[in-house]
Amino acid sequence: MSPSPSRVAIVTGAARGIGAAVARRLAAEGFAVALLDLDEAGCRSGADAITADGGRALGVGLDVSDAAQVDASVSRVAEELGPPTVLVNNAGITRDNLLFKMSEQDWDSVINVHLRGSFLMSRAAQKYMTEQGWGRIVNLSSTSALGNRGQANYSTAKAGLQGLTKTLAIELGKFGVTANAIAPGFIATDMTRATAERLGVSFEDMQKAAAQEIPVRRVGQPEDIAGVTAFLVSDDASFVSGQVIYVAGGPKD
């Protein structure tokens, strides 16, 4: 086991929800953290909170599906915080609809943010990881990768991320870089709150109903995902690569 030479992490979609919790947790683990998101103000306030707690952090606004913005942002992180050795591809959107009502725009935007975004971010960051001979990539998949009504675009993207994860593990392993995916079940965030609104049910009722179907009888919180991420980016996880870890309060098919 070789220790990380540069403890600098990038978390995308870090302005809120799971990404914000992951950024806070990695900062608590001693990483300098770059918070990247479309919402630049949200990233900056997250970074300010980490700095106020004695950590090092940087907030950067970007669209992960734009190659030029991705390359410029990752270079900026390297200059201001140091070479990034951890990347958490978490930025995501939903544009749910049944197949016969799903527009091409709904398909393209979901595929672009999750798949193109994770590809572009991984391509930009791997340079620093392979140079350092140590790296960790964690991709946010979903239980929806197994199929979910109204989510042809999202489930395709989340299944695609599992394939990307395994290929990154195969290509980058000899450089000391691992790649794993976390596939969350129901996590209480703005994303699931928006789903409740779209379906016309209260978020509280939706969580209660979901909890009844989950073996541990509760919905997940962003911190549940942050804890598993902290393990996957640690030295303890150096022999874990190319895996998909379902974090869903019970087994999934």
Q: So which residues are the catalytic ones?
A: 154
Query: Residue 171 CA to chain centroid, in angstroms?
Result: 20
- Residues 44-103 close enough to bind ligand NAP by CB under 6 A: 62-65, 90-93
Residue 92: phi and psi, rounded to 5, are -160, 160
Q: How far is the CB of 249 from ligand NAP (least distance, A)?
A: 11
The answer to whether residue 249 forms part of the interface with ligand NAP (CB under 6 A) is: no
The two tokens of residue 20 are: 């914000």
Annotate 27-79 with three-state secondary structure: HHCCCEEEEEECCHHHHHHHHHHHHHCCCCEEEEECCCCCHHHHHHHHHHHHH
Q: Residue 79 or 223: which CB sits closer to ligand NAP?
A: 223
Span of 3-11, 36-44, 118-126, 210-218 interacting with ligand NAP by CB under 6 A: 36-44
Edge-first strand listing for the sheet containing 244-247 = 57-61, 32-37, 8-12, 86-89, 135-140, 177-184, 244-247
The answer to whether residue 38 forms part of the interface with ligand NAP (CB under 6 A) is: yes
Q: How far apart are CA 119 and CA 65, in angstroms?
A: 9
The answer to whether residue 131 forms part of the interface with ligand NAP (CB under 6 A) is: no
| C-alpha torsion sign, points 13, 18, 21, 23 | negative
The two tokens of residue 9 are: 């992490």
The answer to whether residue 191 forms part of the interface with ligand NAP (CB under 6 A) is: yes
Q: How far is the CB of 14 from ligand NAP (least distance, A)?
A: 7
Binder of ligand NAP out of 124, 129, 172, 187 (CB under 6 A)? 187
Binder of ligand NAP out of 107, 119, 134, 186 (CB under 6 A)? 186
- Which secondary-structure segment (H or E) carries 120? helix 117-132
Q: How far is the CB of 189 from ligand NAP (least distance, A)?
A: 3
The answer to whether residue 190 forms part of the interface with ligand NAP (CB under 6 A) is: yes
Q: Residue 85 or 189: which CB sits closer to ligand NAP?
A: 189
Number of residues that bind ligand NAP (CB under 6 A): 29
Paired residues of 246 in beta bridges: 183
- Which residues bind to ligand NAP, rule: CB under 6 A? 12-13, 15-19, 37-39, 62-65, 90-93, 113, 117, 140, 142, 184, 186-187, 189-192
